[in-house]
Amino acid sequence: MMFRLTALLTLLLTANASYVNADFVDSFDVENGGTGVLDYTNFENFVITAGSVDLLGNGFFDYYPGNGLYLDLNGTSGGSGSIETNFDIAPGLYRLSFNLGNNRDFAAENMVTVSLDGYSETFSRTGVVSLESIERLITVTSSSRLSFVTPSSDADLGGIVLDSVAVTSVPEPSSSVMLAALAFSMFTWRRHAKRA
C-alpha cells in the first residue's frame, strides 16, 4: 500500500513539475531572413526604445559562431541601444532566461539592465567572454514589458550581446497534487504514530 501511494504521489508531482508552458521564446534566428544586418529595427517581438541595435551572426560579424543570429545592444550608429517586448506579459510566475556575451571588437566593460515588473538586474561583461546562460524565477504582479536597457553613457559601436530570450510560465501546483501530498503525509504520520 505504501509503495502504491508513493508511486502515485511521485507520478503526480513529476508530471506537474515538468510542465512548463512556453509563452515567449526568441532566438532572433528568423529575423531579417536569417541574415545579419547593422542597425536593425524590424523585430518580430521587440521594439527599440533608445539608440540602435545590430543583428549579428551567421557569418556576419560572427563573434559566437554556431549560435545563429543574436543582438549587439550597442548598434553601429553609436547610440546605446535599449529594447523591450512589443507586448505585455500578464501577471504570474515565470522563468526568465537569456544568453549574454560581449562584442569582441569593443571589449571594454559593457552593461545592460534587465527589467520585468519588480525585477531589475544589471549585468556587465568585459573582454572576450563565452555566451553565458542566465535564468531567473520572477513573479509578475501587473502586466509589464520585458526590457533590456544599456546605459546612455556607452556610446561606442559595440556592446553586450544578447541571445535566446525566453519567458515561460511556471504553473501553480494543481489541487490534485496538493491533495495527494496531504493524503500521503497523513498516511505516513498515522503509520509512524501507531509504531510509537
CATH code at position 36: 2.60.120.200
Query: Strand, coil or helix: what is 96?
Result: strand
Judge if 84 and 7 occupy the same domain. no
In this structure, are 87 and 108 located in the same domain? yes
How distant, in Å, are the alpha carbons of 42, 52, 155 from that of 149? 18, 11, 13
Residue 64: all three cell numbers together: 559566437
Residue type, 65: P
* Overall residue count recorded for the chain in this entry: 196
What pLDDT is attached to residue 31? 98
Q: Cell 556610446 maps to which residue?
A: 155
5 and 55 assigned to the same domain: no
pLDDT one-digit tens code per residue, 27-72: 999 999 999 999 999 999 999 999 999 999 999 999 999 999 999 9
Q: At residue 36, what are phi and psi to the nearest 5 degrees?
A: -70, 155
| Residue-level pLDDT at 99 | 98
Q: Are residues 127 and 39 in the same domain?
A: yes
Specify whether 35 is located in the same domain as 115: yes
Structural domain of residue 148, as residue ranges?
A: 22-170
Q: What is this structure's pTM?
A: 0.77
> Residues of the chain with pLDDT > 70: what percent?
76
- Residues 72 and 99 both lie in one domain: yes
- Answer yes or no: do 68 and 142 share one domain: yes
Residues 62 and 154 in one domain: yes
Q: Which spans in the chain are helix H? A: 2-17, 175-195
Is the same domain home to 112 and 155?
A: yes
Do 9 and 30 lie in one domain? The reply is no
Question: Is 107 found in the same domain as 158?
Answer: yes
pLDDT of residue 184: 60
Q: Are 158 and 103 in contact (CB under 8 A)?
A: yes
pLDDT at 90: 94
Q: Facing residues of 66 across strands?
A: none
Q: What is the reported pLDDT for 5?
A: 45
Inter-residue contact 155 to 146 (CB < 8 Å): no
Tell me which H or E stretch contains 148: strand 147-149
Note whether 132 and 100 are within 8 A (CB): yes
Low-confidence ranges of the chain (pLDDT < 70): 1-22, 173-196
For 164, the 3-state DSSP assignment is: strand
CA-closest candidate to residue 87, choices 24, 21, 165: 24
Residue 28's pLDDT is 98
Q: Indicate the number of domains in the chain.
A: 2
Are residues 194 and 136 located together in one domain of the fold?
no
